[in-house]
Amino acid sequence: MTTVAAYAAPAAKAPLERTTVERRPVGEFDVLIDIKFAGICHSDIHQVHDGWGSSVFPMVPGHEIAGVVAETGPGVTRFAVGDRVGVGCMVDSCRECENCRAGLEQYCLRGNTLTYNALDKNGEPTYGGYSHRIVVDENFTVRIPDGLSLDVAAPLLCAGITTYSPLRHWNAGPGKKVAVVGMGGLGHMGVKIAHALGAEVTVLSQSLRKKDDGLRLGADHYYATADATTFEKLRGTFDIILSTVSAPLQLDAYLSLLRTDGALVNVGAPEEPVSLNLFSLLNGRRTLAGSGIGGIRETQEMLDFCAEHGLGAEIELIGASEINEAYERVLDSDVRYRFVIDTATI
């Protein structure tokens, strides 16, 4: 066991503070990673606030991890000391079910092991990336291509793959009109990726406050959803609507913006049930779907794609002592567009 520095929430809704946690010894197929940067995801805050009702404390959040391999287990074949690597939302899965075999570990039928706020196969708690070091199986570690700086790469491990995976699955590309709902951590990556995939991209944001950024990042159009005429103007327009917001959507209004056979895909996760008129789906054979992160193979594909197209996250780099303030600012939608912790400051 190795004792490493970390920032943890000692209890639900408590401020995060510096502490230490134990990392397991480096096993046969493990890599020890010197964490350099960790992104702050909205779901970190959800879990620190026990918003989904299953949080365990103390909690070290962080599932957008970028670092460098410091040590490898004897069975490791894919990574060497000094390699630039990332870890996302999962650190293990059953590896045997049909979904795991198909590279869909995010939908592991026996339940995967989340990077923090979970128990691993030995029943030990997992601790996330707000920390100096982490030990992860090489099969749940991905390579960060040379073209990507580690700081802007970190958020790709959640915000990147969460938007890339559904955009690919629902065939965003040339000739397709894609709307991205929400211009935050996920949304701004959705805009960049959909644009790089060749789609015509529209941002649907509450206000026009971030319009200049949206257009700069690749959006072709930008509309305020607070303006009711937006829904009239854009009726029947989109092949894909990617909703990245965690506030409950007015689903029927957004579904009316889809073309025939269009799909509204939610990657945000409202805590309360939403209301829906099924006629909104009947008209135009529309679909409402959900998507969660992506598989390990697809996460590597996403990183390679982002490197090829020069896509990193837009970040605000902070020190560990600023984490609690950053949480408040995320809740106020006051971040452009992802806080990333320089873990050397922990």
- Site residues for a copy of itself, 256-275, by CB under 8 A, read 260, 263, 266-270, 273-275
* Interacting residue with a copy of itself among 283, 324, 333, 345 (CB under 8 A): 283
CA geometry: angle at 309 spanning 303 and 312, to 5°?
60
Between 147 and 284, CB nearer to a copy of itself? 284
Q: Tokens standing for 120?
A: 């691993």
Among 75, 236, 310, 319, contact with a copy of itself (rule: CB under 8 A): 236
- Give Cα separations from 14 to 38, 116, 324 (angstroms): 20, 17, 9
The DSSP line for 186-211 is HHHHHHHHHHHTT-EEEEEESSSTTH
Cβ distance to a copy of itself smaller for residue 8 or 258: 258
Our CB check for a copy of itself shows the closer of 234 and 341 to be 234
As measured in angstroms, the least distance from the Cβ of 225 to a copy of itself is 18
Helix (H) or strand (E) holding 38: strand 30-39
Minimum CB distance to a copy of itself, residue 61 (Å): 20
Q: Is 11 in the site for a copy of itself (CB under 8 A)?
A: no
What pairing do the DSSP bridges indicate for beta strands 65-72 and 84-87? antiparallel
How far apart (Å, rounded) are the C-alpha atoms in residues 288 and 169?
14
CA-CA distance, 21 to 124, in Å (whole number)?
A: 12
159 lies in the site for a copy of itself, by CB under 8 A:
no
**Distance between CA atoms of 168 and 187, rounded to whole angstroms?**
15
**Would you give the binding string for a copy of itself spanning residues 98-127, x where CB under 8 A is met?**
-x----x--x-x------------------
Residues making contact with a copy of itself (CB under 8 A): 99, 104, 107, 109, 166, 169, 236, 252, 260, 263, 266-270, 273-292
